[in-house]
Chain A
Amino acid sequence: MESRLLRVNLTTGELKSEAIPHQLFERWIGGSGINNWLMWEHFLTHDINCDPRGPDNIFVFGVGPLAGTGAGSGIKGRITFKSPCYGIFGDSAGGGKFPYMVRFSGYEYIAITGRAPKPVYLHICNEEAMLLDASHLWGKDTAETHALLQKEHGTWPSKTHTLTISQAGENQVGIAGVVSDALRIHARCGGGAVMGSKNLKAIAVQGNGGLPVARPKDMLSWSDDFRKKLDSNEAVYGFKRRGTLGAVEMYQHIGSHFWRNNQGNMFRGDEIRSDNWVKKYQKYSEVCSSDCFIACDSKYKIDGTESETAKKYIGETFRRPEYLTTGSAAGALDLRDWSEVAHWGKITNDYGIDNQDLSCSISFLMELKQRDLISDRDVAELFGHEQELRWGNMEDVEACVESVVFQKNTFGQLFRDGPYFGALKYSEIKGQNFMKYAMYGKGGASFTEEMRPFPTWMNNMAVASRGADHLKGIGLIEKFQRKDLSKKYFNGRTEAADLSTPLLKGACTALVENQVALLNSYGVCLFHWMLDPGGYTPQDYYGKAFAAITGIDRTPEELMRDGERICNLEKAINSRIGLRREHDTVCERWMWEPTEEGMYPGKVAADMFNTVLDEYYEWRGWEKDSGLQTRAKLTELGLDDVAEVLAQDRALA
Chain B
Amino acid sequence: MTAITQIEMVTGAVRYAPGEEVPNVAKKLFALRNQCTECNVCEIACALAHSPDGTVNPQLARLRIDHAPEKPSKINPLGIGFIAEICHHCGNPPPCAEVCPTDAFYYDPETRAAVIEQDNCIQCMECVPGCPFDVVFVAPSGELLKCDLCGGEPVCVKACSTRPEMLNEGKQYNRLPVLFFEDQPEFNRISKQIIEKRDEIGLMQAMLERGEISSSA
Contacts and interface: CB of A to CB of B under 8 A. Distances in A.
Given A216-B48, A285-B37, A279 B57 contact: no
Given A68-B44, A70-B45, A240 B163 contact: yes
A216 B51 contact: yes
Range class of the A interface residue count = 35 or more
A642 interface: no
A548 to B, nearest CB: 10
Contact of B39 (A69, A104, A210, A293): A293
B167 interface: yes
A292 interface: yes
B81 A284 contact: yes
Nearest to B167: A279
Interface stretch (B22-30, B93-101, B153-161): B153-161
B91 to A, nearest CB: 31
B162 interface: yes
Contact of B49 (A220, A282, A290, A299): A220
A241 B35 CA distance: 12
Interface string B114-144: 0000000000000000000000000010000
For A210, A214, A301, the residue with the greatest tally of chain B CB atoms inside 10 Å of its CB is A210
B205 interface: no
A100 B40 contact: yes
A335 B54 CA distance: 51
B40 A290 contact: yes
B55 A212 contact: yes
Given A213-B55, A216-B51, A227 B161 contact: yes
A144 interface: no
A304 interface: no
A283 interface: yes
A213 B167 CA distance: 39
Interface in B45-65: 45, 47-49, 51, 53-60
For B39, B82, B155, the residue with the greatest tally of chain A CB atoms inside 10 Å of its CB is B39
Nearest to A281: B78
B57 A70 contact: no
A224 B140 CA distance: 28
Contact of A299 (B55, B57, B80): B80
Contacts of B197: none
A532 B91 CA distance: 45
A240 B48 contact: no
A211 interface: yes
Nearest to A285: B37
Given A70-B48, A157-B140, A282-B167, A216 B54 contact: yes
A100 B56 CA distance: 12
B41 A70 contact: yes
A612 interface: no
B175 interface: yes
For B59, B82, B155, the residue with the greatest tally of chain A CB atoms inside 10 Å of its CB is B59
B44 A285 contact: no
Contact of B45 (A223, A238, A241): A223
A220 B58 CA distance: 15
Given A284-B80, A317-B80, A211 B45 contact: no
B67 to A, nearest CB: 10
A286 B167 contact: no
A283 B166 CA distance: 6
Given A223-B159, A295-B39, A237 B164 contact: yes
Interface in A197-234: 208-216, 219-220, 223-224, 227, 230-231
Contacts of B53: 212
A209 B57 contact: yes
Nearest to A283: B166
B103 interface: no
B56 A286 contact: no
A170 interface: no
A291 interface: yes
B38 interface: yes
Given A72-B41, A284-B80, A231 B56 contact: no
A294 B81 CA distance: 16
A214 B54 contact: yes
Nearest to B43: A290
Interface in A276-312: 279, 282-287, 290-295, 299, 301
B161 to A, nearest CB: 4
A100 B39 CA distance: 11
Nearest to A301: B78
B64 to A, nearest CB: 11
A212 B41 CA distance: 16
Contacts of B41: 70, 72, 223, 227, 290-293
A413 interface: no
Interface in A429-458: none
The 10 A-B residue pairs with the shortest CB-CB distance, nearest first, are A210-B55, A210-B57, A295-B37, A290-B40, A70-B44, A293-B161, A208-B59, A216-B54, A237-B164, A286-B37
Interface of A: 68-70, 72, 100, 104, 157-158, 208-216, 219-220, 223-224, 227, 230-231, 237-238, 240-241, 279, 282-287, 290-295, 299, 301, 317
12 contacts: A70-B159, A72-B161, A212-B54, A220-B49, A224-B158, A282-B167, A284-B81, A291-B39, A291-B41, A291-B44, A295-B39, A295-B161
Interface of B: 37-41, 44-45, 47-49, 51, 53-60, 78, 80-82, 140, 155, 158-159, 161-168, 175
Given A104-B59, A212-B55, A299-B78, 9 more contacts: A208-B57, A220-B49, A237-B175, A282-B164, A282-B166, A286-B37, A287-B38, A291-B39, A293-B39
